[in-house]
Amino acid sequence: MKKNLLKNSTVQTLVASLLCIVLGLFLGYLVLLLINPDGAGDAILTVIKNFWTYNRKASQIKYLGNTLVKTAPLLMCALSILFSYKVGLFNIGAAGQYCAGVALSLYAALAWGWSWLPCVLLAMAGGALLDVGVYPLNFASMVFGNDIVRVESSVQKLGTGVDRTENITYFYRDGKMAQLMASVAFNSDRRGIVYGTKGFLTVDNVNNPHEIALYDKNQRETPREVRTVPAQITGYEYEVEACLRDIAAGRLEPAEMPHAETLEIMRQMDALRAAWQIRYPFEKSIIAREE
């Protein structure tokens, strides 16, 4: 009796990987069409050919090296997610952690002249900062703003000293209060609930909302109104669209997420780390030099 190859786990893994590559190239081609329709075909062919685009052996070796350099951190991001799942944890912020780590390490290399090893340590620290905790912080900022007058928090740490689970309460000048929780130890429902005097609303996923439901205070079982988010691929396409609009308009920062807002969230995270006495090795060396 012949076995169906498609039911073989190895074949399924290989086919899934190839489909992901093809889908990635196709989505990249669509983005290139939006940027420059005339050159999109040549550009995607250059991506596919990679270092074989060049005829000279020296150029091929050079650009093969460039490809490996750029591929390595992406593979490490993928491995970090796989490792998390294998040990029963989860990680939904690898892309953001990677970008944050790159930005911090690049700044340290250019502004402070650090060598590669401290920059790598800085990238690891910056990328792991509160991990999933940044999502509820950003959600509270979008809903209530940042006029915070008092903060109360508690944290449970891993053996390495990194935060495992945290509870954060923000008190605002106008009387509002936000209670936030994040953890890498278990899977939560990721819901956000905003309570008011006339009812409340629920957001099904504060990381990437798909549905927002509004409830009346006298009818808590059935929502009075439900707003659904338009169909999307991953949600990152909104970032691509915003980036394209800003580049076309000559703007240096997006209106949806200005630099000042990003810095404010980072200040909040630094204040929480200070309260929890979480300090990374490179920070200790900087403080020792300053003293």
d(CA 161, CA 277): 9
What was the pLDDT predicted at 125? 59
163 compared with 286, residue with greater pLDDT = 163
Q: What is the pTM of this model?
A: 0.60
pLDDT in tens, 10-37: 777 788 888 888 888 888 888 888 888 8
pLDDT at residue number 264: 93
CA-closest candidate to residue 99, choices 1, 274, 239: 239
Distance CA 52, CA 59 (A): 9
CB of 118 closer than 8 Å to CB of 108: yes
**For position 48, what pLDDT does the model report?**
80
Confidence of residue 211 (pLDDT cuts 50, 70, 90): very high
pLDDT one-digit tens code per residue, 246-270: 988 998 888 888 889 988 998 998 8
Q: Considering only 45-54, 163-172, 243-252, which range has the smallest mean pLDDT?
A: 45-54
Question: Checking DSSP bridges between strand 163-172 and strand 148-157, what pairing results, if any?
Answer: antiparallel
Closest by CA position to 153, among listed 173, 136, 175:
136
Q: Does 172 score more than 90 pLDDT?
A: yes
Non-local CB neighbours of 152 within 8 Å, separated by 6+ positions? 168, 169, 171
Whether the CB-CB separation of 260 and 243 falls below 8 Å is answered with: no
For the stretch 51-94, pLDDT in tens is 777 778 887 788 788 888 778 777 877 777 776 666 555 555 66
Is residue 1 predicted with pLDDT exceeding 50? no
